[in-house]
A = this chain, B = another copy of it.
Amino acid sequence: MKALSIIKIGGNVIDNSEKLHQFLLDFTALPGDKILIHGGGKIATELGVSLGIEAKMVDGRRITDIDTLRIVTMVYAGLINKNMVAQLQAKGCNAIGLTGADGNIIKAVKRPVKDIDYGFVGDLDATSVSSQTLDSLLKSGLVPVLCAITHDGDTQLLNTNADTIASAVAVAMSALYETSLIYCFEKRGVMRDIDDDNSLVREIRMNEFESLQADGIVSGGMIPKLHNAFEAIKSGVNAVYIGKADELSQIDQQNFGTRLIR
């Protein structure tokens, strides 16, 4: 099977134009088929403030009401996605910017209301991603750039977590490609000693995950991240990387972040 890299970047890269420029250069230089998935960053919050629309939080979690959905659709699918595509094109990467509604690439389900009504938020399952359409775009030489907006197939756009999209896309594409899922975030990866920059854990196998938790090396927010990564691996993803965006160019030398494998 051909290799396919699915790379997710977050707000810390998007909000910094220099970092974004360097990241997009490194992304363009990555060999082989690839898909970029991006979140939002501060721009959506700032536009909301300018428009007098307050971020609504319940129990510390953001609620996507209809005004917020309008804003994230404008910012994620319009402003951020299209500027990123124009920058990639200038660097020689034939990017095509998409939401999950485009080509019905990702059909989500509006999150059911239990204790909290999250509003227009989409959840994904094993049938959400249309691997066929992504495959035909890749075969046309295009590089899909997906933002964190999906749809329900019944006219409704939905705000959807970009990490979740990246994982669902990687799992679905594993039927057709040997997939690597690469999460770029603000840290170098899993560190053996949080105060020692040279203590990066290069590789974690699934059966080592529990003992790393017991030793306290994997803790806090890293636990659900790694849990989700190993779930993706169980579902067919070849390897998951967690590392720093500005080290992406070293991934070919097996020198990027922490590598999670079966």
Give the residue of B51, B78, B155 whose beta carbon is less than 8 angstroms from that of A86: B155
Interface positions, chain A 59-101, Cβ under 8 Å from B, are 70, 73-79, 81-83, 85-87, 89-90, 94-99, 101
A151 contacts B by Cβ under 8 Å: yes
Q: Would you call B99 and A85 a contact (CB within 8 A)?
A: yes
Classify chain A: how many residues form its interface, as a range: 35 or more
Q: Given the complex, which residues of B lie within 8 Å of A51, measured CB to CB?
A: 50-51
A81: chain B residues within 8 A (beta carbon): 77-78
Q: Does A154 contact B (CB under 8 A)?
A: yes
Q: CA separation between A135 and B89, bound complex, in Å?
A: 19
> Can you tell how many copies of this chain the complex includes?
2
B86 touches A96 (CB 8 A): no
Selected from B73, B83, B96, B140, the residue in CB contact (under 8 A) with A79 is: B73
Q: Are B137 and A87 in touch, CB under 8 angstroms? A: no
Known: A78-B73, A78-B77, A103-B94. A86 touches B156 (CB 8 A): yes
Give me 22 A-to-B residue pairs in the complex whose CB atoms sit less than 8 angstroms apart, sorted by A's number.
A47-B74, A50-B51, A73-B82, A74-B79, A75-B78, A76-B78, A77-B78, A77-B81, A78-B79, A78-B81, A82-B99, A82-B101, A82-B102, A83-B155, A90-B155, A94-B103, A96-B98, A96-B103, A133-B140, A133-B142, A136-B140, A140-B140
